[in-house]
Chain A
């Protein structure tokens, strides 16, 4: 009988956390050094990473494949607009708006999470569309015309840019930490058990609905944060853009290319998507066509994504979200 010990912190995991903290610190001080264009670009990148990580949490770890996450992206922005209209400080409204979208997700979850597979995916899309139409009835939004977060124009452009950047960075740090903690907790393990076999998970006493709800609401909150940061950097709110299904298409692309069901994959996918957009975005529709082709190729030939490939070949996780069993007394060097 070999005794095993449980290892939750690999050496590479600790090193990665230290490196991540250092990167965070450098990024936080960047506005003092870098020019405005770079700051704007990085803010966009933070939004992409947020979206990718949230979709991966939902689909990759909890098995909830939604094509309607734009619902929360849009609702977050809309609530922020409403709060600013009611007199709240803009940057506070952006955060409270995202929290509000998370609260909106609770009643939606108790309905949508009872649906299965394809029905869930499509119902989420329909819910997003229905919410868009309801929001368009609000005179503040002016239907198709949309509106702008004019209160932000009162701020100095440089200050506004930096504040939005810090909001993006802070949100990203918060969401990444919470997701990482959640995945390592009992909830993360339970979510993955549900994803793999729902009935088996229920039979060993996992409260399936509750676990799904936690993940669903967190993912909604994260997407809504991305939506309010987007609103702060774009200023304009166009219902068809903010509630557009393209956000979910982007999430799918980033997660698929980076690597579903890995913690690092979506981040890498978001960086790749961001670089592709910076390099080829000027090509317009042919760039978007190319994205579709890349997505199809990945789905066919590399469904585990780039990080999945790396793991297969190299076998090193930067951040372990699982539990490693090692025979005790036999500590291998990583």
Chain B
């Protein structure tokens, strides 16, 4: 049990890296990128290509691929995403779904259908572990992934809090028009956010390929996991993605102890459960239900009542 818990927490690190980009895009650009998982797989294939064909060492390959992915994200935002954002909520979904189909089938055509892994290029790291007291085993790769996740989120936090770009990103996220008025080029900010998000997707893909087999059609499953982590942790919250990732990872890890299919099912159920609980709590807040029942002080009515819970009520 303890083993499953620790593995789940460490798995959460991977999900945090994967989900951070998705969350950033949603928070800053208000854009849902359904090709995020496919971009992660593309990053993994690029790293594999750099290692197997160009003969780079795996970590150098990862370092080389990240700028390429960032550039790709920048270009995608400049050419594709920016044009669709004006079309409301539906067009970005359609566009990125189409992009996902292009990426999946393009990768299938270019790299073949064989499931591949970076595992046999990183020496004993793929199975090496540290032994702790009480019979606890810590895999080195999961620990490194988790440490990288914390480092990535920490540096993102520093960039957002203290750099000029970070200020521009925060300003654009809260009000694009007002940011434009004060001299911020919102489109440039969006492109920067897309570059960061896509590079993070590539980084996540590289870590995925180190511990598991990847195939051209693995992207959508990763996208679902990333979304679950984002929603569980709270949309648009940076450290929330780590918490969401850990919750998801722990759920999956416990689910896997029950059956092989339980891995995914447990994650899905926790995600749906969190959504349902959130709806229920919001409903209670609006109607004074559970707060009244628990004799808690009523909150001041919020100016922004989520419309999700007002619908259908007489």
Taking beta carbons and an 8 Å cutoff, which residues of A are in contact with B? 59, 65, 67, 111, 114-119, 121-123, 125-127, 129-130, 133-134, 136-137, 143, 198-199, 202, 207-210, 245, 249, 252-253, 256, 260, 285-286, 288-289, 291-296, 298-300, 303
B310 within 8 A of A: yes
Q: How far is the CA of A252 from the CA of B34 in the complex (A)?
A: 13
Chain A interface: which of B142-150, B201-209, B220-228? B220-228
Structural contact, A117 and B272, CB atoms closer than 8 A:
no
Structural contact, B307 and A199, CB atoms closer than 8 A:
yes
Structural contact, B102 and A133, CB atoms closer than 8 A:
no
Chosen A-B contacts, 24 in total, with CB atoms closer than 8 Å, are A65-B90, A67-B34, A67-B97, A114-B308, A114-B309, A116-B308, A119-B275, A122-B224, A123-B275, A126-B224, A126-B228, A126-B272, A127-B268, A198-B311, A202-B311, A245-B220, A253-B98, A285-B105, A289-B101, A292-B101, A292-B102, A295-B95, A296-B99, A303-B87
Structural contact, A117 and B89, CB atoms closer than 8 A:
yes
Which residues of B sit under 8 angstroms from A209, Cβ to Cβ? 311-312
Which residues of B sit under 8 angstroms from A286, Cβ to Cβ? 105, 109
Structural contact, A114 and B89, CB atoms closer than 8 A:
no
Q: Which of A130, A285, A291 contacts B272 (CB 8 A)?
A: A130
Which residues of B sit under 8 angstroms from A127, Cβ to Cβ? 268, 272
CB proximity of B39 to chain A, nearest CB, Å: 14
CB proximity of A224 to chain B, nearest CB, Å: 21
B26 within 8 A of A: yes
Q: Which of B84, B97, B100 contacts A300 (CB 8 A)?
A: B84
Q: How far is the CA of A289 from the CA of B103 in the complex (A)?
A: 8
Structural contact, A118 and B89, CB atoms closer than 8 A:
yes
Taking beta carbons and an 8 Å cutoff, which residues of B are in contact with A? 26, 32, 34, 80, 83-84, 87, 89-91, 93-95, 97-106, 108-109, 220, 224, 227-228, 231, 261, 264-265, 268-269, 271-272, 275-276, 279, 307-312
Structural contact, A126 and B93, CB atoms closer than 8 A:
no
Which residues of A sit under 8 angstroms from B89, Cβ to Cβ? 65, 117-118
Q: How far is the CA of A202 from the CA of B103 in the complex (A)?
A: 41
Residue of B nearest to A260 (CB): B90
Interface of B is mostly: helix
Which residues of A sit under 8 angstroms from B224, Cβ to Cβ? 122, 125-126, 129
Residue of B nearest to A291 (CB): B101
Q: Which of B32, B105, B264 contacts A288 (CB 8 A)?
A: B105
Which residues of A sit under 8 angstroms from B309, Cβ to Cβ? 114
Structural contact, A288 and B101, CB atoms closer than 8 A:
yes
Which residues of A sit under 8 angstroms from B106, Cβ to Cβ? 285, 289
CB proximity of B78 to chain A, nearest CB, Å: 13
Structural contact, A115 and B275, CB atoms closer than 8 A:
yes
Which residues of B sit under 8 angstroms from A116, Cβ to Cβ? 307-308
Structural contact, B32 and A118, CB atoms closer than 8 A:
yes
CB proximity of A128 to chain B, nearest CB, Å: 10
Which residues of B sit under 8 angstroms from A210, Cβ to Cβ? 312
